[in-house]
Amino acid sequence: MNRKIILAGALILLLTVIVLMGWDLFFGSQGNQENPYAYDLKSLKPGDTLQVMYEETQQILPGFSVIHGIATDKSGQIYIAGDNGVEVLDSTGKRLARFALEETGRCIATGSNGLIYIGIQDHIEVYSKAGKRLNKWKSPGDITIITSVAVSGDHVFVADAGNKIVYHYLSDGQLLKQIGQKDPEKGIPGFVIPSPYFDLGIGKKGELWVVNPGRHTFEQYDQDGEMITSWGKATMAMEGFCGCCNPSHFAILSDGSFVTSEKGIERIKVYRQNGDFACVVATPDMFTEGTTGLDLAVDSRDRILVLDPDKNQIRIFTEKKKN
Amino acid sequence: MKKNAVLLILILVLTIQLLNVYGVQRFPKPEFESGYVQPDTLQPDTRAELLAIMDIVVLTVALAVISWLVLKKRSRIGVFCTSVLSLVYFGFYREGCVCSIGAIQNITLAMFDENYVIPLTVIAFFVIPLIFTLFFGRTFCAGVCPFGAIQDLVSYKPQKLGTRLNAVLGLIPYLYLGLSILYAATGTDFIICRYDPFVGIFRFDASFGMFLFAGILLVSGIFIARPYCRFLCPYGVLLNFISRFSWRHMTITPAACIKCRLCEDSCPYDAIDMPVPGKNPEDRAITLRKLILICLLVPFFVLLGGYSTSRLHETLAGVNGKVHLAKSLLEPTTNNGQPETFEITAFKSSGKPVSQVFSEASAVIRQFYIGSWILGCFIGLVFGIILARQLIIAYQADYTPNKGTCFSCMRCVDYCPVTPEEVKS
């Protein structure tokens, strides 16, 4: 390359630095009105609208002032745990039943036997559909915070965010074992739970899936507590998870795909069975900034039910092509 | 081959810096307690007295060694090796602080603020290189200053800039020196430290801006040798001045110059003065006219510089925190819906009366008025002298290093065919 051009380029670089120094000294700090330490996620929130494959088709207003957990059963009925009670709705949102609880339920699941399992702070309570309490299980630990419960046949799995462990129970409340304890020899990394968002669910073939939110991964376990596989990608991009602990909740579609919800950047997405990103259900602009606890459920028609605690609604999303 | 290896190592070192440049925010904050107790913010301990003395000893020894290598051994390799060791010790081990360049500000502040206690190390780092320069020329720049050393390592394809460009760009260090003294004297800021390009690299914690600044200097330094030393370094201004009176200075040839012209293009810093034949001396009348012109021009530039800069004293004072706060208080608190600045928020919570801020700010502005007159006169004087030097023809017979601008790097020595052995024989 011509020496003169190189020299001119180097000179321009040098002069640019000197001019920038002068500008920064005299004008740099004066125009800066922004807080450099501001907690601002706006730049991370815009999503690609072309990836949105779902649309919001219905909202249901529960009869609670605060809502925490949602579940569905095979018949399509919807169960909502709210302040000191549970509501049972049909698939259109019509209220079928309501019963009171002594304490507020934080998470809820239904069994094939028609029983309702409710996680209440540090223990599980079992109710009939009619609202009769059938059992109250003993709290498994001193600092237990139950954040999720899932039922697979006679087996009940409970996520304890306080102790960072999953408990495997029989449906009568008998504790069989703990799952997910750190064991390098077995390749179990241990759960990293920085906040009380620790979800689990049952897959298409009855397998147990647990979110490891601090690692941004999903982990699959068999009923003996052995880890089978895991997937997940920590990234700021749409196809992965980011923040201190995400995804915060998930549900599983009939084809085995995962529906996930996140906090920080409030969004709902779908991942295929193998963990590949599939599409977006709802973008951050559809939620109030700062919303947490977007619990999810999927009904028998593969509609995605999103519990929005901020708007106090159950928001139903349906795949666009199905309309 | 050796140059390529050095360049490769430098690129690798700079690449490591990138690890610090990019950080990702974790959000939202975790809600669980992990049992971790946030430690109190601690001020770093001052350097142990023994180590501080060791620094002074190392500086003195390094200067003695480099002066011996330059003046007695005439060894370019020796100078290069010393500069690498200095880069490791004063740069990466001592993390670039205290440095002689920044010490200008401490000395200035100590002169203007009686409450400021200046450490002995700072005085030593300021004075010792100046003393060595007075005796042996700019040997400090040759291989003891870590700033010079790091730039010298990347000076891979240096190009000549030409006399005029060198003269124009050479004004910048005078301005930088004047500004740094003005801001230090008024207790405003240590701008040399604020815009220290290499300290972030030495400490492996450069912010993106600092990294960019250092990166640009080093990249341009591949083609323009030592850009910081030549066109920014305020300490270089003092060394330049003192070196002109140095007792002994390195020479290109160990004996009489044979005018072979081999060294003519050897200096990457354009610091070799070419022979000017004195066969046809200027007419006396022309010399007299030039002298009168200089006598008129220099005071004119001094006054013009002083007056022009004094008009900018409020802009210059705007950098001062008190003046900036007073200006912010005078402006509407919510400017176009923007939230109030942190300075105003902090001031409101301090409980100080607004009148106190304004009186303090006006006192600072008065200081800047006087300071800007002095700064402007100084710049005008420098400009006038540089212009006058263009009018004066200094006759000389040999190729000689310019005692002011020569860094004593010894590159030119290797080009000289006259060897010390020949001189002895």
Residues B339-353: tens digit of each pLDDT: 677 778 778 888 889
* pLDDT exceeds 60 at position B243: yes
Predicted local confidence at residue A154, as pLDDT: 93
- Three-state DSSP class for A123? strand
pLDDT tens sequence across B268-292: 999 999 888 776 677 888 888 888 9
More confident residue, B218 or B276: B218
More confident residue, B256 or A167: A167
More confident residue, A6 or A71: A71
Host H or E run for residue B202: helix B199-203
Average pLDDT over residues B197-217: 89
Non-local (6+) Cβ contacts of A284 within 8 A are A45, A46, A47, A265, A266, A267
pLDDT tens sequence across B55-66: 999 999 999 999
Tell the residue number behind the tokens 């910081």, with chain if given: B228
Closest residue in B to A20 (Cα–Cα): B213
Per-residue pLDDT band for B164 (boundaries 50, 70, 90) equals: confident
Decide if B389 contacts B163 (C-beta within 8 A): no
End-to-end CA distance of chain B: 35
Decide if A122 contacts A141 (C-beta within 8 A): yes
Per-residue pLDDT band for B103 (boundaries 50, 70, 90) equals: very high
Averaged pLDDT score across all residues of chain A: 91
Cβ–Cβ contact A291 with B under 8 A:
no
For residue A57, which amino acid is it?
A: T
Task: Return the minimum-mean-pLDDT range out of A16-30, A66-80, B82-96, B371-385.
Answer: A16-30
Averaged pLDDT score across all residues of chain B: 88
Non-local (6+) Cβ contacts of A276 within 8 A are none
* pLDDT exceeds 60 at position A31: no
Cβ burial, residue A37 (10 Å; 0-12/13-18/19+):
exposed
More confident residue, A197 or B39: A197
Interface test with B, best of A6, A14, A163, A244 (most B CBs within 10 A): A14
* pLDDT exceeds 80 at position B26: no
Q: Domain coordinates of chain A in residue numbers?
A: 43-322
Q: Which of A9-13, A221-225, A256-260 has the highest mean pLDDT?
A: A256-260
Cβ–Cβ contact B223 with A under 8 A:
yes
Predicted local confidence at residue A306, as pLDDT: 97
DSSP assignment of A260-272: EEETTTTEEEEE-
For the question of whether the overall pTM of this predicted structure is more than 0.90, the answer is no
Predicted local confidence at residue A171, as pLDDT: 92
Per-residue pLDDT band for B98 (boundaries 50, 70, 90) equals: confident
Nearest to A261 by CA among A214, A205, A202, A305: A305
Predicted local confidence at residue B398, as pLDDT: 87
**For strand A116-120 and strand A304-308, is the pairing parallel, antiparallel, or unpaired?**
unpaired
Interface test with A, best of B31, B198, B328 (most A CBs within 10 A): B31
Interface test with B, best of A3, A13, A26 (most B CBs within 10 A): A13
Average pLDDT over residues A6-27: 87
Predicted local confidence at residue A235, as pLDDT: 86
Separation of alpha carbons B265 and B400, rounded Å: 13
Decide yes or no: CATH 1.10.3430.10 for domain A43-322: no
Predicted local confidence at residue A208, as pLDDT: 96
Average pLDDT over residues B136-143: 95
* pLDDT exceeds 90 at position B239: yes
Average pLDDT over residues A270-291: 93
Predicted local confidence at residue A34, as pLDDT: 61
More confident residue, B27 or B200: B200
pLDDT tens sequence across A88-111: 999 999 999 999 999 999 999 999
Task: Return the minimum-mean-pLDDT range out of B207-216, B259-268, B336-345.
Answer: B336-345
A10, B219: Cβ pair inside 8 Å?
Answer: yes
Cβ–Cβ contact B231 with A under 8 A:
yes
Q: Which residues of A touch B24 (CB under 8 A)?
A: 236
A14, B216: Cβ pair inside 8 Å?
Answer: yes
For residue B73, which amino acid is it?
A: K
Decide if A170 contacts A228 (C-beta within 8 A): no
Cβ–Cβ contact B22 with A under 8 A:
no
Decide if B245 contacts B385 (C-beta within 8 A): no
The 8-class DSSP code of residue A205 comes to T
Separation of alpha carbons B274 and B400, rounded Å: 7
Separation of alpha carbons B341 and B329, rounded Å: 10
Closest residue in A to B172 (Cα–Cα): A18
Closest residue in A to B194 (Cα–Cα): A25
Per-residue pLDDT band for B18 (boundaries 50, 70, 90) equals: low
Predicted local confidence at residue B394, as pLDDT: 75
* pLDDT exceeds 80 at position B27: no
Average pLDDT over residues A168-187: 93
Interface of B with A in 60-79 (CB under 8 A): none
Per-residue pLDDT band for B44 (boundaries 50, 70, 90) equals: confident
Cβ–Cβ contact B23 with A under 8 A:
no
Predicted local confidence at residue B3, as pLDDT: 65
Give me the sheet containing A78-82, strands edge to edge: A67-72, A78-82, A85-89, A95-100
Interface test with B, best of A5, A17, A164 (most B CBs within 10 A): A17
Predicted local confidence at residue B160, as pLDDT: 87
Distance from CA of A32 to the nearest CA of B (A): 8
Distance from CA of B220 to the nearest CA of A (A): 4
Decide if B402 contacts B136 (C-beta within 8 A): no
Shortest CB distance from B28 goes to which of A21, A35, A264?
A264
Decide if B273 contacts B166 (C-beta within 8 A): no
Per-residue pLDDT band for A243 (boundaries 50, 70, 90) equals: confident
Predicted local confidence at residue B17, as pLDDT: 60
Give the residues across from A308 on adjacent strands. Answer: A313
Per-residue pLDDT band for B231 (boundaries 50, 70, 90) equals: very high
